[in-house]
Amino acid sequence: MSPRPPAQIGMPAGDIETPALVVDLDLFDANLATLRDAVRGSGLRLRPHGKAHKCPDIARHQMAAGAIGLCCQKVSEAEVFVAAGIPDILVTNEIVDPRKLARLVALAERARIGVCVDGMAHVEGLKAAVAGKGVTVDVLVEIDVGQGRCGMPPGPEMTRLAAVIADTPGLVFAGLQAYHGGAQHLRQPEERRAAIADAAAAVRRATALLDQAGLACRTVTGAGTGSFGLEMASGAYTELQCGSYALMDADYARNRFEGPVFAHALLVHATVISTAVAGQAVLDAGYKALAVDSGRPVPFEIDTDIIGMSDEHTLLRQPKDRALVPGDRVRLIPGHVDPTVNLHDWFVGVRSGVVEALWPIAARGPGL
Separation of alpha carbons 36 and 41, rounded Å: 10
Least separation in angstroms between CB 309 and its own copies: 7
Q: Is 155 in the site for its own copies (CB under 8 A)?
A: no
Q: Confirm or reject binding of residue 254 to its own copies (CB under 8 A).
A: no
131 binds its own copies (CB under 8 A): no
**CA gap 316, 295 in Å, rounded:** 15
Q: What is the largest CA-CA distance in the chain?
A: 72
- Does residue 285 bind its own copies (CB under 8 A)? yes
Cβ(260)–Cβ(34) below 8 Å = yes
User: 207, 93, 96, 70: which is closest to 147 by C-alpha?
Assistant: 93
Footprint (CB under 8 A) of its own copies, residues 163-192:
181
Q: Which of residues 325-364 bind its own copies (CB under 8 A)?
A: 325-327, 336, 338-339, 342-345
Closest CB to its own copies among residues 234, 271: 271
Give the separation between CA 133 and CA 107, rounded to whole angstroms: 11
Of 12, 148, 235, 259, the one binding its own copies (CB under 8 A) is: 148
Task: Cis check for the bond before 19: say yes or no (omega within 30 of 0).
Answer: yes
149 to each of 136, 139, 179, 226, 363, how far by Cα in Å? 27, 19, 10, 18, 24
Instruction: Kindly tell me which residue out of 156, 311, 321, 353 binds its own copies, with binding defined by CB under 8 A.
Output: 311
Neighbours of 131 (CB within 10 A): 11
Tell me which of 55, 246, 291, 348 binds its own copies, using CB under 8 A: 291
- Interactions with its own copies, residue window 51-110 (CB under 8 A): 51, 73-74, 76, 93-97, 99-100
Q: Is residue 173 classed exposed, middle or buried when 0-12, 13-18 and 19+ CB atoms within 10 A define those classes?
A: buried
Binds its own copies (CB under 8 A): choice among 105, 140, 248, 289? 289
Question: Position 181: which residue type?
Answer: G
Q: Which one of residues 3, 10, 132, 134 is an interface residue with its own copies (CB under 8 A)?
A: 3
- 231 touches its own copies by CB under 8 A: no
Q: Could you give the CA distance from residue 155 to residue 137 in angstroms, rounded to a whole number?
A: 24
Distance CA 101, CA 87 (A): 19
Residue 207 makes contact with its own copies by CB under 8 A: no
Please report, as ranges, the residues that interact with its own copies according to CB under 8 A: 1, 3-4, 6, 17-19, 51, 73-74, 76, 93-97, 99-100, 118-119, 121-122, 142, 144, 148-152, 181, 271-277, 280, 282, 284-285, 287-289, 291-293, 308-313, 315, 325-327, 336, 338-339, 342-345, 365-368
